[in-house]
Amino acid sequence: MSIDATDEEIVDAELVEDRQLVRAAPAARPLVDAHTVLMPGEPIPTSNDPRTTYTDRDLYVSEETAQAIKAAEEEGSPQRKTAMGLFEAWCAEQGRVAKPCTTATYTEYGRHLMARGLKVTTIRHYMSLIRTSMPAGKKPDNGLFLMLLAQYRRKNKRALRRKEAFPITLPYLVPMMEKAEADGRPIGWRDAAMLAFGYRFLGRSAEDVGLDLEDVTILDDRVLVWLAEDKTHKGEEQTIHLHDRPDLNLVFRLRRWVGYLEQQGITTGPLFREVLRSGKVATSETRATKGGGATKRGNYLRPQTVNDRVKLWFAAAGLKSDGRSVSSHGLRAGGATDLGASGATDEELWEAGRWKKGSPIPRERYVRPAQDTNRDVFQRVPVHDPTVAAEE
């Protein structure tokens, strides 16, 4: 058999009896990387090793598991959905793949956020949410992004400034609650209960609206709240005792709202719910009657709704902040500020707000600012009176 010099070269082939050329089996490839650990005498695994031959059963999950994964992804935190939504929109404009994204795309988006002049903490938080949203084993390398962020931090001091929520302390909270329930509407009852609860529970708005009626027990002098877990205590259940006080009237306000739910046959499910213009509590059935579709949160209020209602009643009560933004987080900040101003210890603050033991956040963000506001070292200097100076 002769092969013309112009013919394509044949590599890894052999001649068989019928004079036909066939491809030889590919050489075995080592299956190792920088993290492979082998025991003394153990052979290097290769692609021909039967122990590393994967079949469809090793690669696919069942339909039930696939549905569970999809449901878990849809129940992701609102912040994660927002971060990914913005990232996906940017990728679409740039003609880039959003998921799974490349390290170059991830780095470029981080630089895009810096170009917008966002706070360092905001950029880091959004980029972390995006990175953890990528499929397992396909997360981008964040080394280049962190290097750029460090440079951005050095050159943009204003980007380090943290915007604190205005603390809604009792002098602000009480008139807000009174204004909410002044006209006797059910939505006002809900909001007054929600405001009192948010202050006393020292919770994040997402935690408040995530509670079910079954999680709350109303006694004559306190409210018991059962938590399966929270941001700090993952997988650790707790029962929180919220003792009542005359200025909050938490027991009365919460009992009134829960009683109104019971009148409409609602005894399970979300504690805080949407109230329609008619005064009725919205359910899946009432939404269907009005032609509305099901929402992702079902009958649970959105955290943003709490935020909107706090702003509404703060303005309605004729209150003014010191320039800091008014938001639902102000309820948590207000409770912590009142505790700190009243001499609460670090341990008491950590327990009340369920901060991690040793966290500097409550004292640095709420206690010290309140103390600094009331402290004026120039009070030591006598007030200058020109008439006294002239007499001398």
How far apart are the C-alpha atoms of 39 and 342, rounded to whole Å? Answer: 62
Provide the pairing of β-strand 21-23 with 216-218. unpaired
10 Å Cβ neighbour count for 219?
13
Which residues make Cβ contacts (< 8 Å) with residue 70, sequence separation at least 6?
A: none
The answer, yes or no, to whether residue 25 has pLDDT greater than 70, is no
The model's confidence at residue 265, banded by pLDDT at 50, 70 and 90, is: very high
CB 240 within 8 A of CB 203: no
pLDDT at position 10 is: 43
pLDDT at 18 over 60: no
- Return the higher-pLDDT residue of 66 and 77: 66
Give the H or E element holding residue 225: strand 222-227
For 170, residues 6+ apart whose C-beta sits below 8 A from its C-beta are 199, 247, 334, 338
Question: What is the β-pairing status of strands 216-218 and 238-243?
Answer: unpaired
Structure confidence at residue 201 (pLDDT): 93
The encoded tokens of residue 347 equal 């341990």
- Asked if residue 301 has pLDDT above 80, the reply is yes
Q: How is residue 322 annotated by DSSP?
A: S
User: How far is 289 from 212, CA to CA, in rounded Å?
Assistant: 24
Which amino acid is residue 35, in one-letter code? H
Which structural domains are found in the chain, ordered by start?
76-160 (1.10.150.130), 170-372 (1.10.443.10)
pLDDT in tens, 76-91: 666 778 889 999 999 9
Q: How far is CA 321 from the centre of its chain?
A: 25
Number of H helices, E strands in the chain: 17, 5
pTM for the whole structure: 0.64
C-alpha–C-alpha distance, residues 35 and 286, integer Å: 57
Q: Using CA atoms, how far apart are residues 199 and 193, in angstroms rounded to an integer?
A: 10
pLDDT of residue 289: 56
Cα–Cα dist 222/329, whole Å? 23
Encode pLDDT of 104-124 as tens digits: 999 999 999 999 988 888 899
Distance of alpha carbon 349 from alpha carbon 232, whole angstroms: 14
Residue 125 dihedral angles phi and psi, to the nearest 5°: -65, -50
pLDDT in tens, 176-202: 999 999 989 999 999 999 999 999 998
CB 345 within 8 A of CB 355: no
**Residue scoring higher pLDDT (23 or 48):** 48
Q: What is the C-alpha to C-alpha distance for residues 227 and 225, in angstroms, rounded to an integer?
A: 6
Grouping H, G, I as helix, E, B as strand and the rest as coil, residue 19 is coil
Rounded to an integer, the average pLDDT of 342-346 is 84
The answer on pLDDT for 26 being more than 90 is: no
174: enclosing H helix or E strand: helix 170-180
Residue 224's DSSP bridge partners are: 217, 241
The percentage of residues in the chain with a pLDDT greater than 90, rounded to a whole number, is 43
Find tokens 């009792």 and name the residue: 170
DSSP 135-149: PTT-PPP-HHHHHHH
Q: For residues 253 and 191, what is the distance between their CA atoms, to the nearest angstrom?
A: 9
